[in-house]
Amino acid sequence: MKYLYIVVLVLVTFSSFAQNAKKRSSDDLIFESDEDFTLENNFDGVLNFDVHKQVSSNPNLNFSQTWDTETCFSAKKRNSFANVNDTLWLCVGDTLNEEFKIPFDGYMTSHYGPRHGRAHQGVDISLKTGDLVGAAWSGKVRYAKFNKGGYGNLVVIRHYNGLETFYAHLSKLLVVPNQEVKAGDIIGLGGNTGHSFGAHLHFEVRFYDIPINPEYIIDFANKNVKDENLLVHKDLFKSKNPTTNPVKVNDTEHEDEFEELDNSVEAIDVLAGVAVSTVKTEEPNKSVPVREARRYYKVRNGDSLFKIAKNNGLTIDKLCQLNGINQSKTLEVGVTIRVK
C-alpha cells in the first residue's frame, strides 16, 4: 500500500508538471496571435508624468499623443516644435548600462536625414534575417503589426523616459500591443519586410511623434547612451548628423524605405521638427545631379538567382550585392528584388 501511494503521488506530480509546461507553451504562443494584453480602462498612454507635465503646461506646444494601437503615428504627426522657445529635460537612463540596450549590435548602413529626395527619419543597422532585435529602453508596446506604409512588420514602444522607438522590417513579431517590456527584451526577428531591399533594422527615436536623430542620443559604437540627460530643444530636431564622431556608413549596403502612408507632409506641417511649406522651388541654372534609375523584378515560379542575373545582364555576385543577400538565398515567389 505504501508503494502504491508513492506511485500515485509521482503520477499526480508529473501530471501537474505537464499541465504547467503546456500552459507555459500556450503562453508563448500569444506572441503569434493578435490578442492584446489587457490594460486598465482609464490608461491614457502617459508613462512619464514629469515630461507630460512639462509639455502640457506649455500652451504654445499644443501637443497631442494618444494610446493608439492601430496607427503608428498616434498624434497623426501634427505636433510641431516650430513654437518651442524653452528647453525640456528628460532622463534617458538612470543607470547607463542597465537602462539602455542596443537594439542590435550591427554596423550602420544609413544615417538619419535627407536621402534620395525624401526624409529618412531613422538609422539603418545591418543584420541577417532571423537575428534577435531587442527593446532599447523599458516601456510598453503600443503598436505591433504589419504596416502597409513601407515599414513592414513594425514594433513601436513607448518608454518611461518620454520617448518612443520604432523597429521596422522585422521578419517576425514577438510582442503584442499593451505588453510591458524591459530594456533588452527580444521584441522581434530581423528581416526584410515592407519597402526594404536587403535585411536590416530601421530604427527611429521620436518625441511626441517628432523624429530625433538617434545618433544625438545613442553612441552606437560603444552601445550606450551619450548622456543620461537629454535636453529637448529646437536644434535637437535638425536633420544633420552630430558633429562628434558619427558612425561610418557602409555605402555598399544602402537601403530605402517608404514612409508610412499618413506620414505625408501637408502645408505648414512638420518635417524633421520644423514647419515647412510643401511648395518646392528650384534656383535657376542650378545643376542637379542625376541619379541612375533603379529597377526591380518580382520573383516568379521557376526563377533562380542565375536566371534573374542572366536575364538582366548581371553577375550573380552583383545581384546579391544589390540585395544584400548571398548565393544560397532561397527566393520566394512574389518577393521583389533589385536588378539595377
From first to last of its 340 residues, the chain has per-residue pLDDT tens of 555 555 444 444 444 444 443 333 323 333 444 455 666 567 889 999 999 998 988 888 888 899 999 999 998 888 887 777 788 888 887 655 568 999 999 999 989 988 777 888 999 999 999 999 999 999 999 999 999 989 999 999 999 999 999 999 999 999 999 999 999 999 999 999 999 888 999 999 999 999 999 999 999 999 999 999 999 888 887 756 554 444 444 433 334 444 443 333 332 233 223 333 233 333 334 343 433 456 777 788 888 888 888 888 888 888 888 877 878 777 777 677 777 7
Give, in order, the Cα–Cα distances in Å from 245 to each of 121, 126, 206, 218, 242: 19, 19, 22, 12, 7
Q: Report how far residue 168's alpha carbon sits from residue 72's, in angstroms, rounded to the nearest whole number.
A: 11
Contacts of residue 122, defined as CB under 8 A and 6 or more positions apart, other chains included, come to 112, 166, 168, 202, 203, 204, 205, 211, 214
Q: Report how far residue 127's alpha carbon sits from residue 111's, in angstroms, rounded to the nearest whole number.
A: 16
- pLDDT at residue 325 in the model: 81
Q: Report how far residue 220's alpha carbon sits from residue 233's, in angstroms, rounded to the nearest whole number.
A: 22
- pLDDT at residue 280 in the model: 35
- pLDDT at residue 241 in the model: 58
Q: Read off the pTM.
A: 0.65
- pLDDT at residue 263 in the model: 36
- pLDDT at residue 237 in the model: 79
**Closest C-alpha among 211, 235, 218, 193 to residue 120:** 211
Query: What φ, ψ does residue 273 adopt, rounded to 5°?
Result: 85, 10
- pLDDT at residue 85 in the model: 77
**Burial annotation 310-330 (CB, 10 A radius, 16+ → b, else e):** eebebeeeebbebbbbeeeee
- pLDDT at residue 81 in the model: 76
Contacts of residue 73, defined as CB under 8 A and 6 or more positions apart, other chains included, come to 209, 260, 262, 263
